[in-house]
Amino acid sequence: MFDRRWTKLIRDLTTHRLRTTLVVLSIAVGIFAVGVVMGGRGILVREFDEDFTTSTPASAQFMTEGLDAAVVRDVERRPDVRYADGRRRVAVRFTAEESPSEGTVGWPTMRLWAIPDFAAIRVQKIGRQSAASWPPGPGEIVLESGALQVEDFAIGDMITVEGPSGTRAPMRVVGFAHDINAYPAKFTSAITGFVSMESMDALDEPRDLNSMAVLFSKRDYTRGEASRMAADIRDTELASAGVRVVRTEVPEPGSHFFGDIFKAVSLLLLALGVLSLGLSAFLVVTTVSAIMAQQARQVGIMKAVGARTGQVTGMYLGLVVAYGLLAVAVALPAGLLAGRAFAEYGASVLNFRIVDYTPPLWVFVLEVGVGVLIPVAAAMVPIALGTKTPVAHALAATGISSSFGKGLIDRALGTLRGLPRPVALSLRNTFLRKGRLLLTLTTLALASAVVMSVLSARASMLKTVDDMSSWWRYDAQAILAQPAPASLVEREAESVDGVTAVETWVESQASLSRPDGTENESLFAIGLPPKTGFITPSVVAGRWLREGEADAVVVNTDITKEEKWIEPGDTIRLDIRGTEKEWKVVGIVTGQLMGPVAYMPSEALDSAMAAEGAVGRVLVQTSEHTAEAQRRAADQLDRKLDGAGVVVADTLTQTKQAEDIAGQFGILVVFLVIMASLLALVGVIGLIGTMSINVLESVREIGVMRATGAGHAAIFSIFITEGVVVALMAWAIGAVVSWPLSVFLVNALGVAMSLPLSYAFSYVGVLAWLAGVVLIAVLASIVPAWNASRVSVRDAIAYE
Amino acid sequence: MTPEDAPLPLIALDAVVKTYDTGEVPFTALREVNLHVHTGEFVGLIGKSGSGKTTLVNMITGIDRPTSGAVVVDGTPIHELSENELALWRGRTIGVVFQFFQLLPTLTTIENVMLPMDFANVIPSGERFDRAMHLLEQVEMADQAHKLPSALSGGQQQRVAIARALANDPPVIAADEPTGNLDSKTAEAVFTLFEELVERHKTIIMVTHDNDLAGRVRRALHVSDGEIVEERIHRARVGA
């Protein structure tokens, strides 16, 4: 037969349903948060890794001129190369119209890959998703599925594609494929498409290869080794075959280009998980303390009839374990579902596929641990204190606290005059149970601090975007498909309506020779007038360029991040279009999410690359700076250049660029908001729990108040005011704590993203949270206050 | 009969002092109280509110501890026991009856009676139900065995509390104002129950401020200002 101790335990659970629900919810919200965060993170990390590894990412990628299949085969014969795959990459523009009019104004850009044999791809594999025809035949195109995030494509759609030569070709969308190595369309505004080599004919493009992805035989190698191997391939097989390498990309081995953002997100999630755990523990301590206070008399009775401390401790620990198991039963499936949704969202943002939505086993173990062990650990102290209370004390408990008035705060509150009596009572009630108040305040203040820090982190990201945008002072710009004479481009640009200033830039890929003999191949060189009016460089070391400097260069922090040895005053060797030249670093400027860039005077770069006055980019400033005016200027610039025979690869407006930069931060902002919401939820549940338990514990006091004439409204307002007082205190403490916490968070994010963020404290966020927390306090107190106002005198005095 | 031949008392309080630290001025609830109670005695502690009678009974049950002096019950110096030892000892030696019944609200009548058996583990588990039912029959509550306390009247709850006090067949029953919360008819019934227990050689210490009841106990001790100021022996009513 069931021991009466456990009968009591079960009855306690089932009789006090409101209390059981609150305790279970308090624990469940912690388990839920851990399930969502850790589960979601576990799925994201594993599946991202799995998807990325399955794609067989390239050890090195070469952008070339004049590559053919025979050279690719030669490269593959090298003992240090396992696979080498050749493709053709073309930057095109497209429109969803079947018979578009002249000009490509407003046409989006597309990275088009012509693949000789889809079945033979071994490096940077493409996963077929939904394709009516695979591989795509002539005149057919398969789009990378990220395209669906920016436009509503469907199988069977006809699009018109214009190649770099200006030739147009209609193409039918025959399906969608997944390529984890393609930049998501969401961030670059450029979608990716795959066609057969035959489709190049229709665009008047040669069937030559111009891109080679190589996988090294060696499994473990450093980036330095990879750089050396890539340089060796370039200087032997490719050089001897007369292939000119325009750009070599050697990624960090095993690292995806989203690695930094992923790291930042992962760090955030981990921080959230740990915070949720901490807050849940506080909640549990608060709740169990309250239960023990409420059960003091029963503990006394049991001890009076012969229960030993160990037996009573066992009973209440059993009760806590039961609460924990119930919470696990509620939160585990909910966390599983939410974690799955969370991972799904992450995967859609970062453009990868999730095959298996099962969180790692350790997440389940952690959830059960959080649900059972943390409550048990948290309950130890309150249970020990509760069960050690002398029997006489426990039995003497009347339900009305008489300890108020002994402390400093109590006395201070007692001297407050002129307050309406119900408000004075609420204030003093708040401080009646100081231990519980401390725990509730800690929980809610921590949650508040995190919410406000997150809002400051968001403000900091927006400020960073603003700072980045204010670096640029153009209204519209056009990137040319092929370099064109500066004089022609400038003339056309000046004829655009409303243009007040024009500037052209010389551009080229470049590679930097390191002191150890290896090379950094992924640099971009920009030649611009030193007195440019189109950017406001923020110099972090040294100075900006000066007129007439033939060998001066300013590098950005994206270069020095990898090439830590570079300092102002150093001389560096740059290979620009096959010509090596020494340059003197005069300064370092902040990066602008453009990757590693070296700035030099236009004439200097022009002469180094023998460009003979040909430019790659034109920027204009206009009299109006609205998004609409900028778009109009960009469209007209596009049209004018097109009319002059200059093929434009892409146009950009400053507003659009700022949106793109903000979009990249957007992922983090969304994750931050999810994080803040979860923690706010923990805080809210905590406050509801505390308020409800306060009501349960104050039933006798309520009875006395009712007996002396307090109406429903008076009792109701006393408890609502108490909730608001707690929330205001938590807000004030949280606001103070949020300052150092947000500085830490913003710095940590900056480190994780390798991009120092500009710090901004969100005063608006602090005020918004004040409104939010007061509203939450009122909402959290409504049900308990309502219950309090309904207590009858008879019930209150008889309350056990 | 010489003092050496007299039987040892079941309960012996020797110079018991209890002082409460209530802030600036300590409050002495018991002042050097000496008391001997023998097996089968029915002792009534009477006195005004705040006189120290509850504190005195709490010394005997081990619910409270003396500041100085000794309390020996059934040969055990309970003032020397730890809280845990006290609980174990209490479960086997003393049954406590409170003024406000103090039944656990979530347990049924019979479960409340069985709970001390679970704690003390003296009665074999297979016998607990039958024993609890038997005790409930004695207090005429067997037909309410599966009801929750909230469904019982005050008198019924007190009967159950008495059955619970007898759960482990303790030699001593300590009752603090057991009829204080009952109407006169119910109080009479409860008192009659106590008289029957005394006839079965149980020792009962009962706190009361009801002079009629105090007149019916074997030995009435008048407590005032923490001291036993008067003792009356009533021979006629109880044949102990």
**Residue reference for tokens 């180094």:** A608
Q: What is the mean pLDDT of residues A584-593?
A: 87
Binary contact (A309, B114; C-beta < 8 A): no
Check if B29 contacts A (Cβ < 8 Å). no
Q: B106: distance to nearest CA of chain A, Å?
A: 6
What is chain A's percent helix, strand, coil content, to nearest 5?
Answer: 55, 20, 25
Check if A15 contacts B (Cβ < 8 Å). yes
Chain B residue numbers with beta carbons less than 8 Å from the beta carbon of A310 are 84
Check if B129 contacts A (Cβ < 8 Å). yes
Angstrom distance (rounded) from CA B194 to CA B187? 11
Q: B220: distance to nearest CA of chain A, Å?
A: 24
Task: Give the confidence band of A196 by pLDDT, cuts at 50, 70, 90.
Answer: very high
Q: B16: distance to nearest CA of chain A, Å?
A: 17
Residue A653 located in a structural domain: no
Which residues lie closer than 8 Å to A729 by C-beta, 6 or more apart?
A441, A445
- What pLDDT score was predicted for residue A414? 60
Half-sphere exposure for A463 (CA within 13 Å, toward CB):
14
pLDDT at B3 over 70: no
Task: Give the confidence band of B59 by pLDDT, cuts at 50, 70, 90.
Answer: very high
Domains of chain B plus CATH, in order, are: 8-233 (3.40.50.300)
Q: B104: distance to nearest CA of chain A, Å?
A: 7
pLDDT at A663 over 80: no
Please indicate, yes or no, whether residues A106 and A244 belong to a single structural domain of this protein: yes
User: Which among A11, A303, A392 is the nearest to B106, CB-wise?
Assistant: A11
Which residues lie closer than 8 Å to A690 by C-beta, 6 or more apart?
A286, A290, A436, A440, A726
Q: What is the mean pLDDT of residues A67-76?
A: 92
Q: Which of A11-15, A263-267, A292-296, A531-535 has the lowest mean pLDDT?
A: A263-267
- What pLDDT score was predicted for residue A450? 85
Q: Cα-atom radius of gyration of chain A, to the nearest Å? A: 34
For the ranges A20-34, A170-184, A282-296, the one whose mean pLDDT is highest: A170-184
Peptide bond into B105 cis (omega under 30): no
- What pLDDT score was predicted for residue B206? 93
- What pLDDT score was predicted for residue A24? 85
Boundary (domain end) residue, out of A212, A231, A249: A249
Which residues lie closer than 8 Å to A29 by C-beta, 6 or more apart?
A280, A283, A331, A681, A682, A685
pLDDT at B48 over 70: yes
Chain B residue numbers with beta carbons less than 8 Å from the beta carbon of A799 are none
Angstrom distance (rounded) from CA A290 to CA A686? 12
User: Which among A12, A307, A395 is the nearest to B106, CB-wise?
Assistant: A12
Angstrom distance (rounded) from CA B82 to CA B65? 10
Residue A119 located in a structural domain: yes
Write out pLDDT tens, residues B209-230: 777 888 888 899 999 999 999 9
Binary contact (A301, B102; C-beta < 8 A): yes
- What pLDDT score was predicted for residue B172? 94
Q: B6: distance to nearest CA of chain A, Å?
A: 31
Binary contact (A307, B129; C-beta < 8 A): no
Q: A2: distance to nearest CA of chain B, Å?
A: 10
Angstrom distance (rounded) from CA B71 to CA B57? 11
Binary contact (B106, A15; C-beta < 8 A): yes
Q: A406: distance to nearest CA of chain B, Å?
A: 11
Please indicate, yes or no, whether residues A499 and A532 belong to a single structural domain of this protein: yes
Boundary (domain end) residue, out of A397, A419, A446: A397
Specify which residues A503 forms β-bridges with.
A619
pLDDT at A626 over 60: yes
User: Which among A5, A297, A310 is the nearest to B118, CB-wise?
Assistant: A5
Angstrom distance (rounded) from CA B213 to CA B217? 7
Q: Which of A274-278, A300-304, A796-800 has the lowest mean pLDDT?
A: A796-800
Q: B165: distance to nearest CA of chain A, Å?
A: 7
Contact A444, A430 (CB under 8 A): no
Residue A629 located in a structural domain: no
Task: Give the confidence band of B240 by pLDDT, cuts at 50, 70, 90.
Answer: very low
- What pLDDT score was predicted for residue A505? 94
Domain housing A264: 1-54+256-397
Please indicate, yes or no, whether residues A302 and A418 belong to a single structural domain of this protein: no
Q: B178: distance to nearest CA of chain A, Å?
A: 15
Binary contact (B104, A302; C-beta < 8 A): yes
Angstrom distance (rounded) from CA B110 to CA B143? 10
What total number of domains does chain A contain?
4
Please indicate, yes or no, whether residues A266 and A315 belong to a single structural domain of this protein: yes
What are the structure tokens assigned to A109, written together?
Answer: 């850009």
- What pLDDT score was predicted for residue B238? 43
Q: How many residues does chain B have?
A: 240
- What pLDDT score was predicted for residue A586? 95
User: Which among B64, B105, B115 is the nearest to A305, CB-wise?
Assistant: B115
Q: What is the mean pLDDT of residues A26-53?
A: 84
Question: Which of A2, A4, A700 best tests the B interface by mutation, with the highest count of B CBs <10 A?
Answer: A4
Average pLDDT, chain A: 83
Question: Which of A2, A16, A305 best tests the B interface by mutation, with the highest count of B CBs <10 A?
Answer: A305
- What pLDDT score was predicted for residue B188? 85
In sequence order, which ranges of A495-544 are alpha helices (DSSP H)? none
Binary contact (B92, A309; C-beta < 8 A): no
Contact B194, B33 (CB under 8 A): no
What is the pairing mode between strands B42-46 and B203-208?
parallel
Binary contact (B64, A391; C-beta < 8 A): yes
Q: Which residue of B has its CA nearest to A313?
A: B84
In sequence order, which ranges of B11-153 are alpha helices (DSSP H)? 53-61, 83-93, 109-120, 125-138
- What pLDDT score was predicted for residue A768? 92
Q: What are the Cα distances from residue A371, in Å, to A18, A28, A376, A382? A: 19, 7, 9, 18
Please indicate, yes or no, whether residues A97 and A244 belong to a single structural domain of this protein: yes
Q: Which residue of B has its CA nearest to A798?
A: B150
Angstrom distance (rounded) from CA A513 to CA A492? 38
Which residues 279-318 of chain A have a CB within 8 Å of chain B?
297-298, 301-311
Q: Of the candidates B178, B150, B239, which has an alpha carbon nearest to the alpha carbon of residue B53?
A: B178
Please indicate, yes or no, whether residues A535 and A603 belong to a single structural domain of this protein: yes
Cβ–Cβ pairs < 8 A, chains A and B = 88
Check if B63 contacts A (Cβ < 8 Å). yes
Boundary (domain end) residue, out of A249, A275, A308: A249
Chain A residue numbers with beta carbons less than 8 Å from the beta carbon of B167 are 305
Chain A residue numbers with beta carbons less than 8 Å from the beta carbon of B52 are none
Task: Give the confidence band of A284 by pLDDT, cuts at 50, 70, 90.
Answer: confident
pLDDT at A646 over 60: yes
Q: Of the candidates B172, B192, B5, B9, which has an alpha carbon nearest to the alpha carbon of residue B93?
A: B172
- What pLDDT score was predicted for residue B10? 93
- What pLDDT score was predicted for residue A568? 92
- What pLDDT score was predicted for residue B78? 92
Reduced to 3 states (helix: H, G, I; strand: E, B; else coil), residue B69 is: strand
In sequence order, which ranges of A649-711 are alpha helices (DSSP H)? 654-697, 699-707
Binary contact (B125, A1; C-beta < 8 A): yes
pLDDT at B145 over 60: yes
Q: Which residue of B has its CA nearest to A299?
A: B104
- What pLDDT score was predicted for residue A553? 94
What are the structure tokens assigned to A517, written together?
Answer: 């003999």
Task: Give the confidence band of A425 by pLDDT, cuts at 50, 70, 90.
Answer: low
Work out the angle at residue A695's Cα, subtended by the Cα atoms of residues A689 and A697, and round it to the nearest 5 degrees. 100
Q: B1: distance to nearest CA of chain A, Å?
A: 38
Please indicate, yes or no, whether residues A92 and A221 belong to a single structural domain of this protein: yes
Chain A residue numbers with beta carbons less than 8 Å from the beta carbon of B78 are none
Per-residue exposure over A410-423, b if at least 16 CB sit within 10 Å of its own CB, e if not: beebeeeeeeeebe
Q: What are the Cα distances from residue A376, in Å, to A251, A285, A308, B31? A: 48, 9, 19, 44
Which residues lie closer than 8 Å to A577 by C-beta, 6 or more apart?
A508, A509, A609, A610
Angstrom distance (rounded) from CA A651 to CA A108? 9
Q: What is the mean pLDDT of residues A4-31?
A: 81
Angstrom distance (rounded) from CA A759 to CA A467? 11
Share of chain B above pLDDT 70, in %: 94
Chain A residue numbers with beta carbons less than 8 Å from the beta carbon of B112 are 4
Contact A372, A390 (CB under 8 A): no
User: Which among A11, A298, A308 is the nearest to B84, CB-wise?
Assistant: A308
Q: A13: distance to nearest CA of chain B, Å?
A: 10
Chain A residue numbers with beta carbons less than 8 Å from the beta carbon of B157 are none
Please indicate, yes or no, whether residues A100 and A240 belong to a single structural domain of this protein: yes
Q: B63: distance to nearest CA of chain A, Å?
A: 5
Q: What is the mean pLDDT of residues A353-359?
A: 88
Q: How many other C-beta atoms can be found within 10 angstroms of the C-beta atom of residue A593? A: 16
Angstrom distance (rounded) from CA A795 to CA A699? 8
Write out pLDDT tens, residues A459-517: 898 888 888 777 888 999 998 888 899 999 999 999 999 999 999 999 988 888 888 77
Chain A residue numbers with beta carbons less than 8 Å from the beta carbon of B164 are 305
Q: What is the mean pLDDT of residues A625-645?
A: 88
CA dihedral of B77, B82, B88, B93, whole degrees rounded to 10: 20
Chain A residue numbers with beta carbons less than 8 Å from the beta carbon of B63 are 304, 390-392, 395
Angstrom distance (rounded) from CA A647 to CA A658? 25
Share of chain A above pLDDT 70, in %: 88
Q: B181: distance to nearest CA of chain A, Å?
A: 13
- What pLDDT score was predicted for residue A1? 46
Contact B13, B34 (CB under 8 A): yes
pLDDT at A573 over 80: yes
Task: Give the confidence band of A400 by pLDDT, cuts at 50, 70, 90.
Answer: very low
Q: What is the mean pLDDT of residues B75-103?
A: 84
Binary contact (B84, A388; C-beta < 8 A): no
Please indicate, yes or no, whether residues A235 and A262 belong to a single structural domain of this protein: no
User: Which among B64, B88, B105 is the nearest to A306, CB-wise?
Assistant: B88
- What pLDDT score was predicted for residue A253? 83
Q: Of the candidates A60, A124, A77, which has an alpha carbon nearest to the alpha carbon of residue A237?
A: A77
Please indicate, yes or no, whether residues A508 and A599 belong to a single structural domain of this protein: yes
Please indicate, yes or no, whether residues A202 and A285 belong to a single structural domain of this protein: no
Please indicate, yes or no, whether residues A67 and A17 belong to a single structural domain of this protein: no
- What pLDDT score was predicted for residue A401? 47
Chain B residue numbers with beta carbons less than 8 Å from the beta carbon of A309 are 83-84, 87
Which residues lie closer than 8 Å to A260 by C-beta, 6 or more apart?
A752, A753, A754, A755
Residue scoring higher pLDDT (B233 or A189): B233
pLDDT at B11 over 60: yes
Task: Give the confidence band of A326 by pLDDT, cuts at 50, 70, 90.
Answer: very high
Question: Which of B92, B119, B207 best tests the A interface by mutation, with the highest count of A CBs <10 A?
Answer: B119
Residue A652 located in a structural domain: no
Q: Which residue of B has its CA nearest to A394?
A: B63
Which residues 385-444 of chain A have a CB within 8 Å of chain B?
388, 390-392, 395
Write out pLDDT tens, residues B169-185: 999 999 988 887 778 78
pLDDT at A82 over 90: yes
pLDDT at A772 over 80: yes
User: Which among B84, B128, B164 is the nearest to A305, CB-wise?
Assistant: B164
Model pTM?
0.68
Contact A629, A592 (CB under 8 A): no
Q: What is the mean pLDDT of residues A10-32?
A: 81
User: Which among B105, B119, B125 is the nearest to A306, CB-wise?
Assistant: B119
Q: What is the mean pLDDT of residues A624-629?
A: 89
Q: What is the mean pLDDT of residues A355-377?
A: 88
Residue A648 located in a structural domain: no
Q: Which of A634-638, A796-800, B81-85, B133-137 has the lowest mean pLDDT?
A: A796-800
